[in-house]
Copies of this chain bind each other. A is one copy, B any other.
Amino acid sequence: MPSQTIKSVSRTELSPVCFLNRTAYVMPEKIAVVHGERRYNYAQFQERVYRFASRLKELGLEKHGRVAFLSPNIPALLEAHFAIPMAGGVLVAINIRLNADEVSYILEHSGAKFLFVDSEFLPLVGQVNDKEVQITRIDDSGMESDPYESFLREGSPQQPDYYLEDEEEPIAINYTSGTTGRPKGVIFSHRGAYLNALGEIIEIGINQETVYLWTLPMFHCNGWCFTWAVTAVAGTHVCLRRPDAGEIWKLIKKEGVTHFNGAPTVQIMLVNHEDAFRPEKPVTVTIAGAPPSPTLLEKIEALNLKPIHVYGLTETYGPHTICEWHPSWDSLSEAEKATIRARQGQAYVTADLVRVVDENMADVPKDGKTIGEVVMRGNNVMIGYFKEVEATEKAFNGGWFHSGDLAVWHPDGYIELRDRLKDIIISGGENISTIEIEQTIVKHPAVLECAVIAIPDEKWGERPKAFVTLRKNARATEKEIIDFCRQKIARYKCPAAVEFDELPKTSTGKVQKYILREREWARKEKRIN
C-alpha cells in the first residue's frame, strides 16, 4: 500500500503527491504521458517517479532541500513535480527564458543543491559551481544514454518513505519573472497545491477523458497546478518542448487534445496560423495572463475552441478567479458575450472571494467604474516569499494579499482588470486604463495585437502611447488608429502616438511593458538633458 502521512484515522495530510499514488493504483495502464513517440502509462510514470525520489534521497537530499529544474515541458519536469516532494524536497522550476545571471541568482537564492538541466539550456548554467550543486543533464531522449535516464536507473523502483508531517509544508518555490528588481521566490504548500488542483479539476472540467496539451510552461506556477490536477483524474499529459502553433494544431489532431492553457498571445498565434482548423469536438482553452480581447474571443469560438477566462498570479498558484458563465447570458449578442467573457469574474470554488479596495482597504463601490486594487486571501494564496520577510509583510498588508492589479467591481460582484498598478496612466488627474485602450485598438481589422503605456507629457503629465503589431499583409497608419479610437472611446483616452513594431514578451507570453516604458522614458531624459 502506498504509504501516506496519517495523523489520525480521520485525517491524512493533503498533498498532491497522493494523486499519483492513487491513479497509478487504480488506472495503471492508462496513458499518463505522451512526448513525441514516447508513451508512459501511469504504472511506468509512477516507477520513474519512485526511482527519481529514491535516488535523490540516496544522494543526500534533505527534508525541504531545494531541487532546481531548468527545462521546457518534457516528461522529466512532470516527474519532478511528484518525485521531489515525495523525497521530502522542494521543487524550484526555473524559467528557461532567463539569462545566465538570473538563473545563477535563483540557484544561489534558493540554495538548491541539485540541478537538472535540459541540454538545450546548458549554456545558462555555465557559471554554476558544480562542487556546490549536483548537476544532471537531461537529453530528453528517454534513451539509455541520457544522463537523466541513468539517474533514474540508479534509483529504486520501490516507493520511498514519504514523510510529510504537516500539509502546510512547502512543495515548491516559484520565482516571479520580476519586471523590476530581483525575482522573488513564491512558496507553495502541499495543502495549497492539493486544493488548487481540485479547484482546476472542478472549474475547468477535466476528467479521465482529458488529453491535456502542455502549451503553458510547467515552470509557470507549476503549470497552474495542472501537473497535479491532470494526474489526479487520470488524464493524459501531452508534452511540448515549445508552443509552436503548427505543432499545436498537429497535436490537437493527432492526440485528440481536449484542453490547453495559456496567455492570449498563444491563442493569437494559434488562430492566425495557416494550419488552423475547426476540430470536431470542442477543445477547452483556458486563457489568462492578460484579458483576451473580445475580437480574439470571437475568433477562438469560431474554431470550436471553448474559451474559459481565468485570472491569477504566481502568488495565487496561478488562477484564482474565473469568469463563470451565467445561463442567462446565452441570449446576448456575440459582441456582448465577448465583452462579458473578458471579465476576470470571481473566485474559484476552492478559493476565497476577491475584493477590490481603495488605499485604506475599504471596498470600492460595485459600480463597474471605480478603480481599486484586487486583493485575495485563503488557501489559494502563497505561504510567502522565500527569505523575504519584509516583502511578504508588505504583500500581506492588512491581512490580504495585494495583487498590484487594478480593477473595477461590477454590480454583479465580478471584477474586471483595468491595469497593473504600475501601468495605469494618470493624465491631467484622470486615471486611464491601458487595457481599455488596448481592447479598443485590437478591434481594428488590421491589428494583430497591441500594448499601451504612459509616455511623459509636459502639459498632462502622462499621455497614452500605443505599440501595435499589424496582421500579415495588413496596413494601417498612426492617424487611422487614433481616429478609430476616437470613434469608440473618450478623446482624452485616445493614444497620443502609435508605433508599429513587434511587442517584447516574457516566456509566458506576457507583454513586457516595462521594456517599452524604459525606452520611452529614457528618450525623455535624453531630451531633458
Bitwise interface map of A from 176 to 198 toward B, beta carbon under 8 Å scored 1, else 0:
00000000000001011000001
A205 is an interface residue with CB less than 8 A from chain B: yes
Considering only residues 1-44 of chain A, those with a C-beta below 8 Å from chain B are 1-2, 4, 6, 9-12, 14, 18-19, 21-22, 25-30
Most B C-beta atoms less than 10 A away, residue of A12, A28, A324: A12
Answer whether residue A142 sits at the interface, using C-beta atoms and an 8 A cutoff: no
For A377, the chain B residues whose CB sits under 8 A away are 6, 9-10, 12
Asked if residues B202 and A198 are in contact (CB atoms below 8 Å), the reply is yes
* Chain B residue contacts of A189, Cβ below 8 A: 10
Q: Which residues of B contact A382 (CB under 8 A)?
A: 10
Which residues of B lie under 8 Å from residue A353 when comparing CB positions? 1-2, 21-22, 25
Would you call A6 and B326 a contact (CB within 8 A)?
no
Q: How many residues of A contact B (CB 8 A)?
A: 59
Cβ of A378 < 8 Å from any Cβ of B? yes
Tell me if A349 and B381 are in contact (CB < 8 A): no
Q: Is the interface of A mostly helix, strand, loop or mixed?
A: loop
Closest A-B pairs by Cβ, 10 of them: A12-B378, A9-B396, A10-B381, A9-B377, A26-B346, A198-B198, A10-B383, A25-B413, A26-B324, A12-B352
Jot down 13 A-B pairs with beta carbons below 8 A, ordered by A.
Answer: A6-B377, A9-B401, A10-B382, A12-B352, A12-B377, A12-B378, A22-B353, A25-B346, A26-B346, A27-B326, A28-B412, A198-B198, A201-B202
- Contacts A10-B378, A12-B377, A29-B326 known; list 11 others, CB within 8 Å: A9-B399, A9-B400, A10-B192, A10-B379, A10-B384, A11-B379, A14-B379, A22-B347, A26-B345, A202-B202, A208-B327
- Taking Cβ atoms with an 8 Å cutoff, the residues of A that contact B are 1-2, 4, 6, 9-12, 14, 18-19, 21-22, 25-30, 168, 189, 191-192, 198, 201-202, 205, 207-208, 232-234, 324-328, 345-347, 349-350, 352-353, 355, 363, 377-379, 381-384, 396, 399-401, 412-413
